[in-house]
Structure 1
Amino acid sequence: MLSTSLKQDLISEKDMEVIFQRHIIEGESFYFNNILNEPEKEFELRRELSRELRISIRDTIIVGSAKIGFSIKTHNFIDFDSRFKKTSQRKHKSDIDIAIVSQQLFDELSEQLYKFTRHYDRDWINENWRINNYYSSLDPTKPKLPDNFFYYYAKGWFRPDYLPESFPPPWKETVSKWRDILRRKISIGLYRDWKHLKNYQTDHLEKIKYKIKEMEI
């Protein structure tokens, strides 16, 4: 559900960086304000996550459909909890996506992964990086987990869902706790810097802007 204010900002040809700041960084979170009706929970979650990771709370941001009410990465811009409303199955509830921006943490985890994989040893990868808790398919027609991981890594995005199964993320305790509290999956994306997060978000905002101009939404 595209909000009126976001649509107006996109139509008015405002600078995309301003739109990103206003709606993605500073705007209210749709899930915590409109679904849960407990906006303070957002800051409790972000505070605990920032403390566990020893970063500033301002470097943890709710993004995705939990932030603006619909998914910007899908062609049809699916509304938050759209599948859940049709099936009532908990597994179809929308995720709570959180972006973490920290060059230090990004570099630390990169070094840990380098050592963990025996310096990206090919034999180790073939034996240990084929499936994980998120993706179990060994379909030869689909990209391998390491290929997917490094595709996003090159964009400054450390994606935990493509990591080797036994690589422990440092936010595991907080995420596990809040997954039980909210009864929803919490997905973390770690960005090396604000530029990479902004570019990812504004690329999709540009697509929305185009669809508005073409009167598709």
Structure 2
Amino acid sequence: MCILVGLWFPLLANNSPWVDRFSMLIDQFKKDLKELSSTQIFRKHLLSSGCFALDDHQYFKLREEVSEFFSVEFNDTILVGSGRLGFSIKPTKRFVSFNDDSDLDLAIVSPKLFEKIWQDAFLYKRSAEFWPNSRIFFRYLAEGWIRPDKLPPSEYFKFSKEWWDFFNKITNGRQFGPYKIRAGLYYSHFFLQEYQTICIEQCMQEV
């Protein structure tokens, strides 16, 4: 079963009524790839449009819970990825439809929170504690975002535990469907847009 726009429907391989909807969404996106700039596509499909996987109330509640927990602005919590579009634009899953195995991917934009985690991570690294992903973490940090899965291990780093405990809790609550809820933390909207437009521009080259 799959939740689409807040309702339960069987997701069938060939005769699902949602197959046509997926095709329409992808066709419109491909049309826009030929007619709009990458910035316009980002604004239209990831900032202005509704969410494929959540109805308006669910999306409001999700953003509200996340923004309150992390003390960030409501408008700085944005659903991206296939949960927003209805399909993926990642290179390894290009135009694969949102399905039961998909995640709900959020972008949280907060320079204040970003700088706090950056400072804590720097001090942790300087302490020479166990951190196998430190090099990858700082590579993404230089690109303006924090990948939580590359943070120091949660048993040693307080924020890692707080982050994963929160997102596991709202995932297990299932009020937003049977999907894992995950997020990335961005320093600014500039870096969020730049990261998303990388995939958009790759799509442009393919159509």
The farther-off stretch of 69-78 and 157-166 is: 69-78
RMSD: 1.8
C-alpha contact (below 8 Å) 1:29/1:62 kept by paired residues: yes
1:108 aligns to 2:116 (yes or no): yes
- Counterparts of 1:1-217 in structure 2, within 5 Å, are 1=22, 2-12=25-35, 14-32=36-54, 38-77=55-94, 78-81=96-99, 84=100, 93-115=101-123, 117=124, 119-121=125-127, 123-124=128-129, 128-130=130-132, 145-166=133-154, 167=157, 168-169=159-160, 170-172=162-164, 174-180=166-172, 181=174, 182-212=177-207
- Provide, for residues 101-142 of structure 1, a one-character-per-residue CA deviation record: whole Å limited to 9, x for no partner: 111110011112223x1x534x42xxx213xxxxxxxxxxxx
Alignment check: 8 A CA contact 1:48 1:174 kept: no
Q: Which has the larger displacement, 69-78 or 101-110?
A: 69-78
Contact kept, 8 Å, 2:26 with 2:87, in 1: the verdict is no
Deviation at 1:175, TM superposition (A): 1.9
TM-score when normalising by structure 2:
0.78
Deviation at 1:148, TM superposition (A): 1.6
Gaps of 5+ in 1: 33-37, 85-92, 131-144, 213-217
- Structure 2 CA distance for partners of 1:76 and 1:55, relative to 1, 3 Å: closer
**TM-score normalized by the length of structure 1:** 0.74
Equivalent residues of 2:86, 2:98 under 8 A apart: yes
Structure 1 residue 150: deviation in Å? Answer: 1.5
1:27, distance to aligned residue in structure 2 (A): 1.3
Paired positions, count: 176
Percentage identity across paired residues of the two chains: 34
Cα displacement (A) at 1:157: 0.8
SS at match of 2:126: coil
